[in-house]
Chains A and B, each alone.
Chain A
Amino acid sequence: MSATTLLAIVLALSLIGYLWGRANAGALKRAGQGMHSIPAYHGYFVALSCGVPAFLLVLIWLAAQNTIIDSIVLAGLPSYVTDGVESSRMSLIASEIKGIAGGRIFGTPDQALIDAAERYNALRGIASLGMAVCALALAIGGMIYARSRLSPEFRARNRVDNIIRWGLIVCSILAILTTLGIILSLVIESLAFFARVPVFSFLFGLEWSPQTPMRADQVAAAGAFGAVPVFWGTIFISAIAMFVALPVGLFSAIYLVEYANHRVRSVVKPLLEILAGIPTIVYGFFAILTVAPMIREFGISMGLSVASNSALAAGSVMGIMLIPFISSFADDAISAVPQSMRDGSYALGATKAETIRQVLLPAALPGIVGGVLLAVSRAIGETMIVVMAAGLTATLTANPLEGVTTVTVQIVTLLIGDTEFDSPKTLAAFGLGLVLFISTLALNIVALQVVKRYRERYE
C-alpha cells in the first residue's frame, strides 16, 4: 500500500471519527445531559485523536525507513565488496543497488549486488506493510480511546484548543528552523571559502576575477577574490535606483495624500500598485530592450561612449521598480500625521506647500526613512533586473555610463555552468551571499526599528 493511499485512509477514518464523536455527543445531549462542550467539539476531538498520531507516525516512518533499509542492505553485503571502500564510494554502491532493484540494470552487475537488490525490495515491502498496519492500528486505537473519554463533563473544547495551539507552535518552529538551516548552510559554505581565501583580502581586495584553473595542468590566472568592485557595483546601482525612486515616489505620495481629490486618488493608487505587481523579469526586459538602447543612443548623440550594459540603465529601471514601494510607505507615513497638525499650520496662515515642508514631512520623516531603508535593502538584493541589464565585468568606476557588476549577478554567474562544488570559484558565491545577507539583514533591522518608533509616536 502506498503512503498516499494510507494517508487517504487515515483521513477517511478521521472523518468517520468526527461524525461518530459528534453523533454520540449529540445523543448524550438529546438525552438531557448538560454537556461541557458542544457535540462538534467532541467530534473534532475524536477526529484529531485518530488522525494526528497516525499522520505523524507515517511521516516519521517514511523519514527513517530509507536510512534503516540502506544500512541493513549494505551491512549484508559480502566482505569482498565492502572491504576497504570509503564512505563516499559506499553511497554509490547503495544507489547502484537501488537502481538494480528498480529494474535499471547497466552492464552485468556483480551477483552480490543483485542479491542485495532483491533483499532491498523485500525489505521495502515489509516496511510499507508494517507502516500501514501500525498507522491504521494507531488511528483506530486513537479513535476508540477518544470515544471512551466522551462524557458530558469531558472538556473537548479545551482539548481541541490545546491541540490546535500545538499545531500552530510546530508550524512556527518549522519556519524558524528552516531559516536557521539556510543561514547555517550559508555560513558553513562560506567558512569553506574563507579557509581558501583570507577574509581580509576578500573584503578589501580591489580585484575580482574568479577564474581559477579547472585542472592542475591548466595555465590560468590564480583567480582574484577581492569583493570591493562587486560590492561597489551593487552600491552604485542601488544609489542610482534610489536617485530615481526617492523623489518620484515621495512626490507622488505627497501629491496623492495632500493634493489629489478622491477621484484621482482612486485611479492613481491602483495604478501604482500594478507597478508593484510587475514581475522583475519584465523590468529586466524593459531595461535591456528599451532603456539601455535609449540611453546608448542618447549618449552617442551627445558624443559620449556608453557601454551596452550601463549601470544607468539597470539602476534607473530598478528605481522604477521601487517607486511604488517608496510611495506607499511615504503615503502611509504622511497620512498618519494627525489632521490637527495640518489645521494648526493652516490656521497660522501657512500655505499647503509650507505646511507639507515644515510640518508634515518632518513629522512623517521616520516613517519615510524606514520605507527608504527597506527599499534600499530590496535594491541590494534584487537579482533579475541586474542579471539581465547590468554587466559582468567588475569595474571600480563612478561613471554611470560604464557597465558594472553586482553581488547578485556574480553569485548567479559563479554558480551556473559546469561547476565543482568545492573550488574557490563556486565557494566564493557563498562568501558573497553571506556578506550580502548580513548587510541587508542589518538594514532591515534598522529600518523596522525606525518604522516602529514612528508608529509609537502617534498611537
Chain B
Amino acid sequence: MDKTAETTGVLSGAAATRTDGHEIKVAASNVSVFYGEKQALFDVTIDIPGRQVMAFIGPSGCGKSTFLRCINRMNDTIDICSVTGTIEIDGANIYDPKIDPVLLRARVGMVFQKPNPFPKSIYDNICYGPRIHGKARAGSEMDEIVEVSLKRAGLWNEVKDRLKEPGTGLSGGQQQRLCIARAIAVNPEVILMDEPCSALDPIATARIEELIDELRERYTIVIVTHSMQQAARVSQRAAFFHLGRLVEEGETDLIFTNPSDQRTQDYITGRFG
C-alpha cells in the first residue's frame, strides 16, 4: 500500500483561515462520545488553530482526555467507546470510513500523562515510529532522524553517549522528553499531550514547558493540564470543559482575566474542581 498517497488523500481538504492569520488545523463539530450507555462528552464544537498551543482545562472527569483521544482516534482502541460528530483536520473528516486510523496516528502524535518509553534502547524508542512507517532506512538516515528528534526534544546532549542504553533507565523528566522525541520522529502535524508534566518535578516541568514553546513553531499542540499557571504560561488559547461540555473557549489571556461564564470564573479562581 502506498502510504504517502493515502496521507495526501487526507490532506486534500480545504483549510479555513482565521482573521488572526492562524489557519484552522483541527475543526470539531458536535462531537459526542459514549462509553457503552454512558455519555461522556456532549456536542463539543471547537476550532483549533495551527502552530499554536491550545490548552484544555477543567475539573477531573469532565472529558478532556476523552476529547483529546478523539483527535487521534485512540478511542477506537476502547471496545465500548463510540464517537459521533465530525472532526476535520485540514478540512478532511478523520472519522470518514476511508481514513485509516493507523495512518492518522502518524500525523497526530500523542504524549501521555505517565512517561511510557518502551523497554528498548533509547535509539530504538525513537526509530520505532519511522521504522514501522517506512520513513527511513536503517543506517545513517535513521541516525539522523534520531539525532534531530532528540535535539528538538532537548534531550540530545544528555543521552548522545548512551543511545544503546534502555530508555526506561532515564529519569522521569528525561523519559517524558524521550516520549516527545519519539512522537516527533514520525514528523506529525499535531501533537496531543495529556497532562504531560503531572508526574514530574518543577524543574523537569519547566524544561518541558520550554520545549512546548519551541515546538509550537512547527507543530500544532493540544495540551490537557490541571495547572492554571501552566496553561497560562504555555498556551495561546484555552478551552474550559465542565461535565462533558465545552463551556467556553478563547484566547488564554481573556479566559483567565475575563471569563464570560460563571463556571469558568469559579474554576480558575479555585472555587471548585
Closest to B168 in A: A457
A348 B74 Cβ-Cβ under 8 A: no
A340 B128 Cβ-Cβ under 8 A: no
Closest to A338 in B: B116
CA of A350 to CA of B116, assembled, Å: 15
Residues of A within 8 A of B133 (CB): 349
A349 B129 Cβ-Cβ under 8 A: yes
B114 A346 Cβ-Cβ under 8 A: no
A348 B112 Cβ-Cβ under 8 A: no
Residues of B within 8 A of A153 (CB): none
Interface residue? A181 (CB, 8 A) = no
Q: Encode contact with B along A345-366: 1 for CB under 8 Å, 0 otherwise.
A: 1111111001000110011000
| Given contacts A343-B77, A344-B179, A354-B132, A349 and B116 within 8 Å (CB-CB) | no
Closest to A343 in B: B112
Residues of B within 8 A of A344 (CB): 112, 116-118, 179, 182
Interface residue? A79 (CB, 8 A) = no
CB distance from B46 to the nearest CB of A (A): 21
CA of A354 to CA of B106, assembled, Å: 14
CA of A311 to CA of B127, assembled, Å: 46
CB distance from B51 to the nearest CB of A (A): 21
| Given contacts A347-B72, A348-B186, A341 and B102 within 8 Å (CB-CB) | no
Residues of A within 8 A of B129 (CB): 348-350
Most chain B C-beta atoms within 10 Å of own C-beta, residue among A340, A342, A346, A347? A347
A-side interface mostly: helix
CB distance from B182 to the nearest CB of A (A): 7
One of A262, A347, A362, A363 near B74 (C-beta < 8 A): A347
Residues of A within 8 A of B72 (CB): 347
Interface residue? B50 (CB, 8 A) = no
A348 B109 Cβ-Cβ under 8 A: yes
Q: Encode contact with B along A322-348: 1 for CB under 8 Å, 0 otherwise.
A: 000000000000000010111111111
One of B79, B109, B114 near A347 (C-beta < 8 A): B109
Residues of A within 8 A of B120 (CB): 362
Q: Encode contact with B along A255-277: 1 for CB under 8 Å, 0 otherwise.
A: 00000011000000000000000
CB distance from A424 to the nearest CB of B (A): 53
For B, the interface residue count at a CB cutoff of 8 angstroms equals 26
A-B contact count (CB 8 A): 66
A349 B119 Cβ-Cβ under 8 A: no
- From 83 to 133 in chain B, residues with beta carbon under 8 angstroms from any chain A beta carbon are 102-106, 109-110, 112, 114, 116-120, 128-129, 132-133
The size class of the interface chain A forms with chain B is 20 to 34
Residues of A within 8 A of B114 (CB): 340
Interface residue? B24 (CB, 8 A) = no
Closest to A365 in B: B119
Closest to A346 in B: B77
Closest to A262 in B: B79
Residues of A within 8 A of B106 (CB): 348-349
B183 A347 Cβ-Cβ under 8 A: yes
Closest to B185 in A: A348
| Given contacts A347-B183, A349-B102, A341 and B77 within 8 Å (CB-CB) | no
Residues of A within 8 A of B104 (CB): 349
CB distance from B219 to the nearest CB of A (A): 15
Residues of B within 8 A of A350 (CB): 102, 128-129, 132
A-B contact pairs, 23 of them (CB 8 A): A262-B79, A338-B116, A340-B116, A341-B118, A343-B77, A344-B182, A346-B77, A347-B105, A347-B109, A348-B105, A348-B106, A348-B128, A348-B183, A348-B186, A349-B106, A349-B129, A349-B133, A350-B129, A350-B132, A359-B118, A362-B120, A363-B118, A363-B119
**Given A347-B105, A347-B109, 11 extra CB contacts under 8 A:** A340-B112, A342-B77, A344-B116, A344-B182, A347-B183, A348-B106, A348-B128, A348-B129, A349-B102, A349-B186, A362-B120
Nearest 7 CB-CB pairings of A with B? A349-B106, A347-B110, A340-B116, A349-B105, A348-B129, A344-B116, A354-B132
Which A residues fall within an 8 A CB radius of B?
261-262, 338, 340-351, 354, 358-359, 362-363, 457
